[in-house]
Structure 1
Amino acid sequence: MIGLKFNIGLLGRIVIAIAFGIIVGSLVTERFDWIVRSFVTFNGIFGQFLSFAIPLIILGFIVPGIGELGKGAGKLVGITALIAYLSTVTAGLLAYGTAVSLFPKMLSGSFGKMENPEEALLKGFMEIEIPPVFGVMTALVMAFVFGIGIAAVKSDRLLELAVDFRSIIELVIAKVIIPLLPFHIAGIFMNMTYAGQVAEILSVFALVFVVIIILHFVMLTLQYVIAGIVNKENPFRLLKTMMPAYFTAIGTQSSAAAIPVTLRQTKANDTDEEVANFVVPLCATIHLAGSTITLTSVVIAILYLNNLPVTFGQIFPFILALGVTMIAAPGVPGGAVMAATGLFVSMLGFDQTMVSLAIALYIAQDSFGTAANVAGDGAIAKIVHAVKRNTSILDEKKPREIA
């Protein structure tokens, strides 16, 4: 008997998981909602494990990644952070320019108030809490301190320990997270479809969402054109390679949870391995261009629909503050909008109804904004790769010549 072995690949499994989740979620009746709840229960446990693992992933990749870079590590981290912030602000300005040009005509109809869609989602049979050892921001700061410290003191023993820890994290990713990821994604889409969450919201703001998704790809194209120019490579080939990470983020709704796939595809683009190992986890926490496009577009749409003024002097400071505020949101689906709610009130004058609507609209398409964030991280890594290659930032001292 001749055995047949099919190798679908991660991208294929993710697409199948999304389709499976939507089909089952649309067919299941209330009598058989235990099917959806079973997946939701798994998602709860797996999500808790992801929350536990994310700080360890950040620590495990950034510390040895920075430590292996050598004496110029601190400067390169600073350059990465600056590039990521400029990318985020540019995304916000792109969204502002598009919104003020198109939304007044597109949204001239009536405004319908909507309830928070999270209430319609089914709950699991049980909940198991797996609290992380420390938070994401703590992990990020620790990674900087230890990584730059190892590079500064040139401690081989600490570097070896960090590399061994990275190997453990890589094993957890390869043997646990990646194999279970498609089931997690299927459960998310199954629950959302069963609850009718996405359809309800898109029926009101469908055109706005179309504009947002188009802007995501415009921004991704801009990012990869720049990455392609500085590396003298085909930008569309680079972007195509990052598509598995894009679709993974659509399901996970978390840049941090998509780190394993993002890292793998970034390296597949021939990005320097040392650069990729610290840029990808770092950008998962500080580079939120896709989320910025979404939030900027949503708040401007809400302002217009409530007959409130929209000016550059009002929105630009909001975008600048948004780029900083959302650093506190990595790893949490919908975290960006939760972190930004304070800005809605303090800088834009939103009342509670407007804040609730903004949260609902953002959650409905959180997957796509996160996917744009993740795919853009690969471009940032390629740009930093070019900086490292074309400058003396990381040049080590040349050995003394023997006379």
Structure 2
Amino acid sequence: METDPEKNATNTTRVSSPSDVEATRAEKKLWWHSITVMGSTFQIIIAAVLGIAIGVAVSTTVDEVPEACITILEIPGELWLRGLKASVLPLIATAMIIAVQRLKEETAGAGKKLGIYTVSYYVLTTILAIAHSTVMTALVWAPRMPTASREALALDGDDDEEYADRAANTNVADVVVQIFESFVPANVVEALSENELLAVLTTAVVVGFLVQPGGAVLRAVVEVEQIIMRIITFLIKIAPLGVFFLIMPNLLKLDIAVIAESLGWLIAGSLTGMAIHVTVVTPLIYFAFTRRNPYSFFLKCSPAWVTAWGTASSAATMPVTLRVAEARGVPETVRRFAIPLGTLVNMDGTAIYFPVVVTFLAETQGQTLDAGQYVLIVLLSTLSSIATTPIPSSSLVLTVMIANSVGIEMTGMYGVVVAIDWFLDRFRTAINVVGDLYACKVIEKLTGITEEGDLSSPHVDQEGRRE
């Protein structure tokens, strides 16, 4: 036993237990100690910074990096990413089944509240993202976007012809039909094999409501979930290696001169809109409901959004997002429900991008959009941001659909947009993941759900403060 130097009110010495002593020793560890922990926040950030630094340094000093070199360097990152993606589908299925089962055990109405608040939050933030992006684009960025030369606008080869064909064959009705069809699988086994995440999520919710509590099926689901979590734990430990080899080879392809000349305003408009959303809009919502520092929370969630930037996939990042939410004290029921759903439908970054890229395509061919066209872009962007996940080619196909709906022809500039989409997609994904984590804490506050399942008692976070 060790004695605590602090005295209590009765002037007696408090005796510390062995657990208190261990906790005190843990607190005295220097900040850099976490750098040595496999898969820690610092390791992931250091790996990302090194990947960016090496990639940019090489791409700006070497005339042309051999394609074979880039392909070989991509192998470790791609293998790690494939491992994450392989764990996503079973993780979504098991997490949703267990979350729905936990909701059935809660006080009556908890499941309804959780569902309503989660969907409402995601819809609200998507609309806000599109609204401020559209206003900024119309007032600030559109007047600065230059008209491209006739040579740049000309369709070049088979690729650009394919883009033009997409514009002619993609319409709003098809997108609406595909969205609704993606929620209900015609064949569950096929949905699993084809990695149709929205269909799997819907099926998991139904199974979660119908499966017998404590039955063999539920026990099997729990066992599978535990196996998946062990795999994910290993993948997270090697995350710094995976993130490094995902980022660095891609930046070797970066041609900064071309980007600055042709796409500077598109990149500036997109990144500025995302920065406003992640530093102003969602933090204000978070603070309004939780009365906690949103920027401290944002920094503590860095493993998730750094991994999201490296993988460019919300689904692949979901295991890390769940771990971060758990570390931030989000109740299991909330995180198991809100994060898988948000991974598939909460696309704030994509919603911000659509108005900017469509306006860019219009301005480069000398076409100025009017107020009515901007309203149509807002409506279609809201719909398309939800549809991003289930539709093949994701935001690229939907960009064509929105542009076509407001009378914008596909030109050679669309090929330039495609060439830089991989870069902007990383930022969009990071914004999406941050939005999911902010949502978890807001929804936790709104529903009153705690780890113990008591809806009336306030939640005590990991720092011992009552929220």
Deviation at 1:331, TM superposition (A): 9.2
- Once the two structures are overlaid, the 10-residue window that deviates more, 278-287 or 212-221, is 212-221
1:280 aligns with 2:339: yes
CA contact (8 A) 1:252 1:333 kept: no
**Identity between Structure 1 and Structure 2 (%):** 22
Q: Give per-residue Cα distances to partners, 1:26-67, cap 9 Å, x unaligned.
A: 477878765432232334444444333322221122221222
Q: CA deviation at 1:178?
A: 1.4
Once residues 99 and 70 of structure 2 are traced to their aligned partners in structure 1, the CA distance between those partners, rounded to angstroms, is 40
Equivalent position of 1:80 in the other structure: 118
Deviations 1:272-298 (CA, angstroms, capped at 9, x unpaired): 221012211110110000111122211
Paired residues, what number? 375
Structure 1 gap segments, 5+ residues each: 120-130, 397-403
* Distance of aligned partners of 1:362 and 1:315 in 2 relative to their CA distance in 1, 3 Å threshold: farther
Amino acid at match of 2:89: P
Q: Who is 1:206 aligned against?
A: 264
Deviations 1:373-401 (A, max 9, x none): 1111111111211221189xx988xxxxx
CA distance 1:323–1:51, change in 2 (3 Å) = farther
Higher mean C-alpha deviation, range 183-192 or range 222-231: 183-192
The answer to whether the 8 Å contact 2:377/2:406 transfers is yes
Corresponding residue number in structure 2 for 1:6? 36
Measured in 1, the distance between the counterparts of 2:356 and 2:70 equals 33
Q: Which aligned pairs between 1:312-391 and structure 2 lie closer than 5 A?
A: 312-330=371-389, 335-351=394-410, 353-389=412-448
Structure 1 residue aligned with 2:329: 270
> What's the counterpart of residue 144 of structure 1?
205
Q: Is the 8 A contact 1:294 1:362 kept in 2?
A: no
Distance 2:142 2:384 in 1: 28
Task: Tell me which residue corresponds to 2:85.
Answer: 51
Question: What residue is the counterpart of 2:187 in the other structure?
Answer: none
Distance 1:204 1:333, change over 3 A: farther
1:135 aligns with 2:169: no
Say which is worse superposed, 351-360 or 187-196, in terms of deviation.
Answer: 351-360
Q: Mapping of 1:4-403 within 5 angstroms?
A: 6-7=36-37, 10-22=40-52, 23=54, 26=59, 34-70=68-104, 72-108=110-146, 110=148, 112=152, 132=193, 134-150=195-211, 155-157=213-215, 158-175=217-234, 177-197=235-255, 200-220=258-278, 221-330=280-389, 335-351=394-410, 353-389=412-448
Distance (whole Å) between structure 1 residues aligned to residue 91 and residue 261 of structure 2: 38
The CA deviation at 1:96 is: 0.5
Aligned to 2:189: none
The code of the aligned residue for 2:264 comes to: A
- Give the TM-score normalised by structure 2: 0.70
Cα displacement string for residues 212-269 of structure 1 (whole angstroms, at most 9, x for unaligned residues): 2232132123212212221222222222222221111110001111112222222333
Secondary structure of residue in 2 paired with 1:233:
coil
Q: Deviations over 1:320-344 (max 9, x none)?
A: 3333334343399973334443333
- Whole-Å Cα distance in 2 between the matches of residues 387 and 227 of structure 1? 11
Closer, same or farther: CA 30–213 of 1 in aligned 2, 3 Å: closer
The 8 Å contact of residues 40 and 188 in structure 1, kept in 2 or not, is answered as yes
Change in CA separation of 1:213 and 1:32 when aligned onto 2, cut-off 3 Å: closer
CA contact (8 A) 1:318 1:347 kept: yes
Moved more, 364-373 or 321-330: 321-330
Of stretches 205-214 and 333-342 in structure 1, the one that deviates more from structure 2 is: 333-342
Q: Is the contact between residue 361 and residue 414 of structure 2 (CA under 8 Å) also seen in structure 1?
A: no
User: Matches of 1:238 and 1:20 in 2, distance apart?
Assistant: 24
Deviation at 1:366, TM superposition (A): 0.9
8 A contact 2:95–2:337 mirrored in 1 = yes
The alignment partner of 2:315 has SS state of coil
Return closer, same or farther for 1:311/1:372 CA change in 2, 3 Å cut-off: same
Q: Which residue identity lines up with residue 337 of structure 2 in the other structure?
A: F
TM norm structure 1 = 0.80
CA distance in structure 1 between the partners assigned to 2:82 and 2:326 by the alignment:
28
- Do the aligned partners of 2:301 and 2:324 also contact (CA within 8 Å) in 1? yes
Separation in structure 1 between the aligned mates of residue 288 and residue 449 of structure 2, nearest angstrom: 13
Output the aligned Cα RMSD: 3.4
Partner of 1:156, secondary structure, is: coil
Asked if structure 2 preserves the Cα contact closer than 8 Å seen for 1:91 and 1:293, the reply is yes
1:80 CA drift (Å): 1.2
Deviation of 1:346 after TM superposition, in Å, equals 3.4
Provide the secondary structure at the position in 1 that maps to 2:263.
Answer: helix
3-state DSSP of counterpart to 1:257: helix
